[in-house]
Structures are given as structure tokens and as C-alpha cells.
Amino acid sequence: MKNEMLYKYLSERTSFLTEQWYENLDKTKGGIYGSKNPEVIQQVKRQNNEFHMRFCSIFNNGDEENLKEFQDWIYLIAQDEGHLNTPLSDILEEFFATEKQYIELITEFATERQDTISLAEFGELIYTVTNTINDIVLEFSRQNTLAAEQRLTAQQELITEMSAPVILLGETVGLLPLIGEITTHRAQVIFEKTLEQSAGNKIETLFIDLSGVPIIDTMVAHQIFQLIKGLKLIGVSTALSGISPNIAQTAIQLGLDFSDIKVFNTLTQAIDLQAAKIS
């Protein structure tokens, strides 16, 4: 009966809890909490109020039902872009600020009814609050970390896919500028995307510039030469430029044959020669 009374007591104050929480929020923080955008502010308040609606209901459920009330809410907040751009420590701090709100409100509730609520019952209510918040924090941390890892993986895959752009220099001439570290995975992506783009753009000559690549290992060097062979099979002649001494040594150690490949010291030299042929 007391739990039903407490449920009603808390449910009537959910809007108050949200407004109190937002008023006390440190708005100098980064991420979603420091936003000045009215739409973002309303979204944060709505998410907070939805939390309170669920939290109040735990006093009508058994302990085993407590976390179930929050599973969909936790998942949505953990996947939310604004929260993904907010430090996890800041988010957890707000969970514990909310816990403090409930402890204060339940203390107020118990004080008003001290003749009917025993110390043991009060302690049980506080335990329910702290235990549920702890469970929510643990589950949110797990979901948030998983969502952040998934987003990072997706971003890395997108960057990798975009790291093999074939730039058109003319109707049938293209340039593949390679920059930065080339991993085995990235080399495979370069192989696939370059063949696809060269065929799609009907390229006949492709300049592959390696001046932005500091070093490559044997697997990557082999993959680049496989790319050259693959391009030859679809009718694209290639020219290499910007080969560093380290890359040259790796190629020689592999026994890779340069005899059928045009090699230039710089990309400018390669393009100038191509332009001279066209003129």
C-alpha cells in the first residue's frame, strides 16, 4: 500500500523533477548538456521526463522488473547522437544527480508519514533507488560503449572507402593519390575501388602517386602490384610516381618486376609527360 502511495507521490512530481534537474544542470559542460539549441534542450528534458515516468513505476513492480522498464529507454539514449558526443563521465554524473533527487523526495515522503513508515521500510525504499540506479548505470555504460565502438567502426570504414579516390584528369586519364599509412585492409579496399572506378570512368591511363605514403610492408606492396596487374587486365595502363627509398627497397626485396611499369620521380613529371604526348 505504501508503495502505491509513493508511486502516486512521485508520479505527480515527474515534471518538477525534470525542471529541477535541468535548472541545476552544469550548462558549461560540453556535449548535449551544454547545448543552447531550444530543440535540443526540449529533447533532453523529454528524455529526462521519460526516465522519471519509468522510474516511478518500479515501486509498483517486483525487483526483477526494475531494469526491464528501462531497456528500451537505455538503448535509445545510448544510441542518441547527442549523448554519443557527450563524455560518459558527464552522463553518469547526471544519473547520480537524479539518484540524489529521488533520495531527497523519498526522505520528504517518509518524513511526512513517519508515524506509518518504519526505519526499515525507509531503508528498503532507499535501497531500491540506489540499486536500480546502479543497474541502469551499468547497463547504460555497456550500451553506450558498444554504440560508440559501432560508430567508430562505421566511420573508419567510411574513411577507408573514401581513401581510394580516382580523380579524373581528362576524359581517359585518372589519378590515384595515396596518402598516409596503408594497412592490408585498406590496400584491399583500394584494389577493389580503383578497379571499379577505373572501369566505370573508362580510364585508359592511371597515375598512382605514392609520395604521400611513408612506408609500406611486404603484403601491401604485393597488393599494389596486384592492382597494377588487375588494371592491365581491364585495359588500363599505369604509371607510378613518388616512390620513396623505403618503398623501393621493399619492392626489390619482394622481387617485384618494374620492367612493364612506367615510373616517375614526381607526379608533376608524370603528368607533364602525358600532356606532351597528348599535344
The CATH number linked to 116 is: 1.10.490.10
Q: Is the pLDDT of residue 104 over 80?
A: yes
Give yes or no: residues 72 and 198 share one domain: no
pLDDT confidence of residue 16: 94
Q: Is the pLDDT of residue 75 over 50?
A: yes
Which of 127, 157, 187 is the C-terminal boundary of a domain? Answer: 157
Alpha carbon distance 74, 254 (integer Å): 53
Q: What confidence tier does 183 reach under pLDDT thresholds 50, 70, 90? A: confident
The residue type found at 106 is: I
pLDDT confidence of residue 243: 83
Asked if the structure places residue 268 within a domain, the reply is yes
Mean of pLDDT over the chain: 85
Give yes or no: residues 76 and 140 share one domain: yes
Give yes or no: residues 124 and 14 share one domain: yes
Which of 115, 135, 157 is the C-terminal boundary of a domain? Answer: 157
pLDDT confidence of residue 105: 94
Q: Is the pLDDT of residue 18 over 50?
A: yes
pLDDT confidence of residue 160: 63
**Top-confidence range, 122-131, 154-163, 238-247, 249-258:** 122-131
Asked if the structure places residue 162 within a domain, the reply is no
Number of domains forming the structure of the chain: 2
Give yes or no: residues 135 and 191 share one domain: no
Asked if the structure places residue 267 within a domain, the reply is yes
Q: Is residue 212 classed as helix, strand or coil in its secondary structure?
A: strand
Q: What confidence tier does 266 reach under pLDDT thresholds 50, 70, 90? A: confident
Give yes or no: residues 175 and 149 share one domain: no
Q: Residue 195 maps to which CATH number?
A: 3.30.750.24
pLDDT greater at residue 213 or residue 66: 213
Rg of the chain taking only CA atoms, in angstroms = 31
Give yes or no: residues 190 and 112 share one domain: no
pLDDT confidence of residue 100: 95
Give yes or no: residues 130 and 184 share one domain: no
Question: In a 10 Å sphere around its CB, with 0-12 CB exposed, 13-18 middle and 19+ buried, how is residue 204 labelled?
Answer: middle
State pLDDT tens for residues 131-182.
Answer: 999 999 999 999 999 988 888 877 777 666 666 678 888 888 899 988 887 8
Give yes or no: residues 150 and 218 share one domain: no
* CA-wise closest residue to 6 among 97, 166, 126: 126
pLDDT confidence of residue 275: 58
Asked if the structure places residue 251 within a domain, the reply is yes
pLDDT confidence of residue 276: 55
Give yes or no: residues 153 and 224 share one domain: no
Alpha carbon distance 67, 88 (integer Å): 20
Give yes or no: residues 254 and 214 share one domain: yes
State pLDDT tens for residues 216-234.
Answer: 777 777 888 888 889 999 9
Give yes or no: residues 122 and 46 share one domain: yes
Q: What confidence tier does 1 reach under pLDDT thresholds 50, 70, 90? A: very low
pLDDT confidence of residue 273: 66
Q: Which domain holds residue 207?
A: 167-278
pLDDT confidence of residue 277: 59
Q: What are phi and psi of 26, to 5 degrees?
A: -75, 100
Give yes or no: residues 126 and 48 share one domain: yes
pLDDT confidence of residue 57: 85
Average pLDDT of 250-276? 74
Asked if the structure places residue 186 within a domain, the reply is yes
Which of 137, 157, 177 is the C-terminal boundary of a domain? Answer: 157
* Cβ proximity of 247 and 278 under 8 Å: no
Question: In a 10 Å sphere around its CB, with 0-12 CB exposed, 13-18 middle and 19+ buried, how is residue 60 labelled?
Answer: middle
First to last CA, the chain: 94
Instruction: Locate 30 and state its grid cell.
Output: 560540453
